Amino acid sequence: MITTSGLTKVYESRGRQVTALDGVDLHVREGEVFGVIGQSGAGKSSLIRCVNLLERPTSGTVTVDGVDLTALAGKSRRAGKDLRRARSSIGMVFQHFNLLSSRTVKDNIELPLEILGISGAERSRRALELLDLVGLADKAKAYPGQLSGGQKQRVGIARALAGKPKVLLSDEATSALDPETTRSILQLLRDLNQQLGLTVLLITHEMDVVKTICDSAALMQHGRVVESGTVAELLATPGSQLAAELFPVSGAATGPDRTVVDVTFHGESATQPVISQLSRTYNIDISILGAAMDTVGGRQIGRMRIELPGRYEDNVVPVGFLREQGLQVEVVEEDAAAPAATAPALVKEGAK
């Protein structure tokens, strides 16, 4: 649904050049919720602004629903009209809502429809329908100043959906909200994704957001995408930073002469039966030191840190057995198993 290829963005700022995007290739499939995460300054907002051509890319292409937006930008008047039409199929939600305070909630939602030249009666019908969809049917006549942050964001989402977009872009839509309101907004985005088949590209600096609703994720650093894929694919990638943050496991060996391994499972293989089978087959006691699991798309997925008696040399056969069962097994070095040495945080809490 969304493809960027070789996307770069260089800003000119007081005679200096800032490379915000440095060759970004991104693929967002139709109907998925795709999260882009990264530290402040990584280029996340630049990316989302280039995807709907709010910002003109320096080079590279952006294709949304089969239309090459970059080819339309800034060409003939005809192409300009095509670009506007293409952009109306992309909704955008902002961190600070960007509502007009002098207009009622309903009139805020009608604004994009006015711009599209839709008649008054039709606008009104559509706005009320959208208000109902976001759970604010009783707030049509209220002004933004009379709403809570979560309610304002619901209005922002309703407005973004006014043009019946296939794609919704969201730049830190929940970072101005408290945790409980964040959850309800994320749930709303998930519901809209499922009810309307809406493709959602969202940007966040909070791993929890990715964990709660994303099917796929990408990690950005210094204007580049350094990892991307479905949650299952990331988990299957040895050494993936995103997987380590999504499914953190820790726990140190309980004594000398022990082997600590991280077992990653995704898709068909269920770990618990395999581990009890391992224990029975080789007659060894296995301790579970830590586990991080979740159900993604109806499948159990996650990571478990287990301890086997004996040194690694004594455990080559049991470890081989786990691998034969389709599990990914990484032996944790003694140092790395120490409690202090969990994966470094990708994104600082409250970085904003």
Ligand X SMILES: Nc1ncnc2c1ncn2[C@@H]1O[C@H](COP(=O)(O)OP(=O)(O)OP(=O)(O)O)[C@@H](O)[C@H]1O
With binding defined as CB under 6 A, does residue 18 bind ligand X? yes
For residue 182, the partner it binds in ligand X, Mg ion, none, with Cβ less than 5 to 8 A by kind, is none
User: Interface mask (CB under 6 A) for ligand X, residues 182-221, using x and -?
Assistant: -----------------------x----------------
Segment interacting with ligand X, rule: CB under 6 A, options 35-43, 104-112, 245-253, 304-312: 35-43
Segment interacting with ligand X, rule: CB under 6 A, options 11-19, 59-67, 245-253, 299-307: 11-19
**Touching Mg ion, residues 28-57 (CB under 5 A):** 45
**Touching ligand X, residues 42-71 (CB under 6 A):** 42-46
Residue closer to ligand X, measured from CB, 11 or 282: 11
* 217 strand-pairing partners: 35, 229
| Residue 220 phi, psi (nearest 5) | -105, 140
Residue closer to ligand X, measured from CB, 29 or 352: 352
Residues 6+ apart with CB under 8 A from 314: 259
Question: How many residues contact Mg ion, by CB under 5 A?
Answer: 1
With binding defined as CB under 6 A, does residue 101 bind ligand X? no
Contact 93, 177 (CB under 8 A): no
The whole-angstrom separation of Cα 337 and Cα 319 is 17
Angle at 196 between CA 194 and CA 201, to 5 degrees: 70
Question: According to CB under 6 A, which one of 38, 91, 112, 163 is a site residue for ligand X?
Answer: 38
The whole-angstrom separation of Cα 306 and Cα 258 is 10
The whole-angstrom separation of Cα 87 and Cα 81 is 10
The whole-angstrom separation of Cα 54 and Cα 49 is 5
Segment interacting with ligand X, rule: CB under 6 A, options 12-20, 139-147, 278-286, 310-318: 12-20
With binding defined as CB under 6 A, does residue 41 bind ligand X? yes
With binding defined as CB under 6 A, does residue 315 bind ligand X? no
Q: Quick one: DSSP state of residue 293?
A: E
Q: Within a 10 A sphere around the Cβ of 238, how many other Cβ atoms?
A: 10
For residue 40, the partner it binds in Mg ion, ligand X, none, with Cβ less than 5 to 8 A by kind, is ligand X
With binding defined as CB under 6 A, does residue 13 bind ligand X? yes
Q: Hey, what's the torsion of the CAs at 130, 32, 299, 319, to 10 degrees? A: -150
Residue closer to ligand X, measured from CB, 46 or 325: 46
For residue 216, the partner it binds in ligand X, Mg ion, none, with Cβ less than 5 to 8 A by kind, is none
Q: Hey, what's the torsion of the CAs at 98, 100, 105, 108, to 10 degrees? A: -80
With binding defined as CB under 6 A, does residue 123 bind ligand X? no
Q: Which of 289, 209, 189, 216 is nearest to 248 (CA)?
A: 289
With binding defined as CB under 6 A, does residue 20 bind ligand X? yes
CB of 19 to ligand X, least distance (A): 8
Question: How many residues contact ligand X, by CB under 6 A?
Answer: 13
For residue 46, the partner it binds in ligand X, Mg ion, none, with Cβ less than 5 to 8 A by kind, is ligand X
The whole-angstrom separation of Cα 164 and Cα 288 is 49
Q: Which of 152, 151, 110 is nearest to 129 (CA)?
A: 110
* SS3 at position 59: strand
Residues forming the site for Mg ion (CB under 5 A): 45
Residues forming the site for ligand X (CB under 6 A): 11, 13, 18, 20, 38, 40-46, 205
